[in-house]
């Protein structure tokens, strides 16, 4: 049975220079019949259905209409055209703790927030102790919210939202908040919901979460469905698109930073895979070759070239330089080319960023640094948590390692 049925749905917004136009401007526009508003379709011709107990992921770049779609499913926004049918009680983790008031205590906020979500008071009274326990707030429950850390508020919000025990749960990037322990706890709670046959719609940029959690995925771009279907297919398509854009010089993390005294300048950089094909789309176990073309305005002795790889959370995965690597460069002048190879990348699936630097031997002069400058994506068949994959073999009791061959073999996967 379909619990959510969306047919040819579209949502139009009016773009204005500043929201909430002044009265005078509006009156003048009305009188002169001037059309100053631009129509903008945030969602176009969206059709899909979600069966009972299914978990659906919604992915897409920023501004693709994911949150608008979720708002419409949550019935906080009305579609401009098309039809929407939702069966069952919906609880929405769109913005945790919407309606929390800093001057009220945790206890008072629980009742207020529950009322906003339409949960009857009797239900909340019954579940009050469990909510407090789940939030882990303990005696702070009688403290006004203004003294809470942001993590505490989010925990309280999540605890109330899941207490509703809805039939349909809409989740917007909330699983990535709070500390690690709470993330784990909320993740477990979500899995419990799933195992109890609840219908869940998740919006996230976290491909690992979507991959592990969802049965079906809808990929939105510019308000349109690019593809929908099984999780792996759709995610692969999405990653391909993202890479295609990144190769064209996309913005990446938004923290791209370039600086230096520029006696030497990095003029061009090419990333190639093990077969020498220029790409930013790599498979785990493949080689990454980096070619740097630089121009040195003057003669520089003993320059040091370095690089670093960060993941999407800006965690440093690996970094090195010619000095650490004992690769001595006596001097450079004019045009030059430096290449380095990172053999059989052991990274997990995800987005990564390459930073490059040229600096002096004593590290006091930075000639040119490009931070988070070259994004690339790694696809790995190896699953696990963290950044790197290390081949694992499981053995029960005294059993011999029968299947000692790991799923990750750098020598073979580099060639195919």
Of 13-21, 255-263, 267-275, 314-322, the window that binds another protein (rule: CB under 8 A) is 13-21
The interface region with another protein, picked from 69-77, 212-220, 301-309, 344-352 by CB under 8 A, is 69-77
What's the distance, Cα to Cα, between the start and end of the chain in Å?
A: 43
Backbone torsion region of residue 116, taken as left when φ is above 0, otherwise alpha when ψ lies between -120 and 50, otherwise beta: alpha
For residue 116, state whether it binds another protein (rule: CB under 8 A).
Answer: yes
Q: Which of 117, 163, 214, 280 binds another protein (CB under 8 A)?
A: 117
State in angstroms the smallest separation of the CB of 119 from another protein: 8
CB 41 within 8 A of CB 17: no
Cα separation, 318 vs 130, in Å, equals 43
The answer to whether residue 121 forms part of the interface with another protein (CB under 8 A) is: yes
With CB under 8 A as the contact rule, which of the stretches 30-38, 111-119, 182-190, 322-330 interacts with another protein? 111-119
**35 belongs to the binding site for another protein (CB under 8 A):** no
Query: Is the Cβ of residue 113 or residue 281 nearer to another protein in the bound state?
Result: 113
Measured in degrees and rounded to the nearest 5, phi and psi for residue 255 equal -115, 10
Kindly state the smallest distance separating residue 56's Cβ from another protein, in Å: 19
Q: Residues 214 to 243: which contact another protein by CB under 8 A?
A: none
- Structural element, H or E, at residue 337: strand 331-342
71 interacts with another protein by CB under 8 A: yes
Q: Pick between residue 120 and residue 151 the one whose CB is nearest to another protein.
A: 120
- Round to whole Å and give the CA distance between 147 and 271: 49
Residues 6+ away with beta carbon under 8 Å from 172? 66, 67, 70, 93, 94, 95, 203
Is residue 220 within a helix (H) or strand (E), and if so which, with residue range? strand 216-221
Cα gap 178→336, rounded to integer Å = 48
For residue 111, count other CB atoms closer than 10 A to its CB.
Answer: 16
- If one asks whether residue 3 binds another protein (CB under 8 A), the answer comes out as no
Q: How far is the CB of 68 from another protein (least distance, A)?
A: 10
78 touching another protein, by CB under 8 A: yes
Closest C-alpha among 252, 225, 222 to residue 237: 225
Under rule CB under 8 A, residue 144 binds another protein: yes
Q: How far is the CB of 219 from another protein (least distance, A)?
A: 24
- List Cβ<8 Å contacts ≥24 apart for 325-331: 328/302, 329/302, 329/303, 329/304, 329/305, 330/301, 330/302, 331/299, 331/300, 331/301, 331/302, 331/303
Closest to another protein by CB, 67 or 204: 67
For residues 367 and 264, is the Cβ–Cβ distance under 8 A? yes
Nearest alpha-carbon partner for 288 in 249, 342, 243: 342
* 375 Cβ contact list (under 8 Å, min separation 6): 246, 250, 252, 253, 280, 351, 352, 353, 354
- Is 111 a binder of another protein (CB under 8 A)? yes
Binding residues with another protein: total (CB under 8 A): 34
Query: C-beta of 75: minimal distance to another protein in Å?
Result: 5
CB of 76 or CB of 403, closer to another protein:
76
Interface with another protein, residue 28, by CB under 8 A: no
Cβ-based nearer residue to another protein, 160 or 338: 160
**For residue 228, which of 240, 215, 239, 216 has the smallest C-alpha distance?**
216
Binding to another protein by residue 395, rule CB under 8 A? Answer: no
Does residue 41 touch another protein according to CB under 8 A? no
CB of residue 23 vs another protein: minimum separation in angstroms?
Answer: 4
- Residue 37 as a binder of another protein (CB under 8 A): the answer is no
Which residues would be at the binding site for another protein (CB under 8 A)? 13-14, 19-24, 26, 71, 74-78, 90, 92, 94-95, 98-99, 101, 103-104, 108, 111-112, 115-118, 120-121, 144
């Amino acid at each position: 049975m379909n619990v959510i049925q969306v047919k040819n749905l579209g949502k139009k917004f009016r773009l204005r220079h500043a929201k909430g136009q002044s009265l005078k401007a509006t009156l003048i526009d009305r009188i002169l019949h001037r059309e100053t508003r631009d129509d903008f379709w945030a969602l176009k011709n969206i059709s899909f259905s979600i069966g009972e107990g299914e978990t659906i992921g919604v992915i897409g770049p920023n501004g693709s209409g994911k949150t608008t779609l979720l708002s419409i499913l949550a019935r906080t926004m009305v579609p401009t055209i098309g039809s929407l049918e939702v069966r069952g009680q919906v609880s929405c983790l769109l913005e945790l703790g919407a309606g929390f008031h800093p001057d009220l205590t945790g206890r008072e906020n629980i009742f207020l927030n529950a009322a906003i979500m339409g949960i009857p008071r009797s239900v909340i009274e019954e579940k009050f102790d469990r909510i407090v326990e789940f939030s882990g707030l303990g005696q702070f429950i009688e403290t006004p919210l203004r003294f809470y850390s942001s993590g505490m508020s989010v925990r309280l919000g999540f605890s109330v939202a899941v207490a509703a025990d809805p039939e349909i749960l809409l989740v917007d990037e909330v699983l990535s908040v709070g500390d690690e322990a709470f993330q784990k706890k909320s993740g477990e709670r979500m899995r419990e919901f799933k195992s109890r046959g609840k219908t869940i719609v998740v919006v996230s940029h976290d491909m690992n979460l979507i991959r592990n959690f969802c049965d079906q995925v809808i990929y939105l771009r510019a308000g349109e469905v690019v593809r929908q279907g099984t999780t792996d297919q759709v995610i692969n398509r999405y990653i391909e698109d993202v890479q295609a854009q990144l190769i064209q010089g996309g913005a990446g993390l938004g923290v791209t930073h370039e600086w230096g005294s520029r006696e030497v300048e990095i003029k061009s950089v090419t990333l190639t895979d093990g077969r020498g094909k220029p790409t930013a789309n790599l498979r785990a176990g493949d080689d990454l070759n980096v070619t740097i073309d630089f121009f040195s305005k003057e003669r520089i002795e003993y320059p040091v070239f370095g690089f670093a790889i960060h993941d999407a959370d800006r965690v440093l995965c690996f970094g090195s330089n010619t000095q650490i690597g004992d690769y001595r460069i006596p001097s450079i002048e004019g045009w030059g080319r430096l290449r380095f190879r990172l053999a059989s990348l052991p990274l997990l699936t995800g987005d990564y960023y390459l930073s490059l630097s040229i600096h002096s031997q004593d590290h006091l002069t930075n000639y040119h640094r490009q931070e988070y400058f070259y994004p690339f994506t790694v696809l790995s068949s190896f699953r696990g948590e963290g950044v790197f994959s290390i081949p694992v073999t499981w053995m029960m009791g005294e059993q011999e390692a029968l299947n000692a061959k790991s799923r990750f073999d750098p020598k073979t996967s580099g060639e195919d």
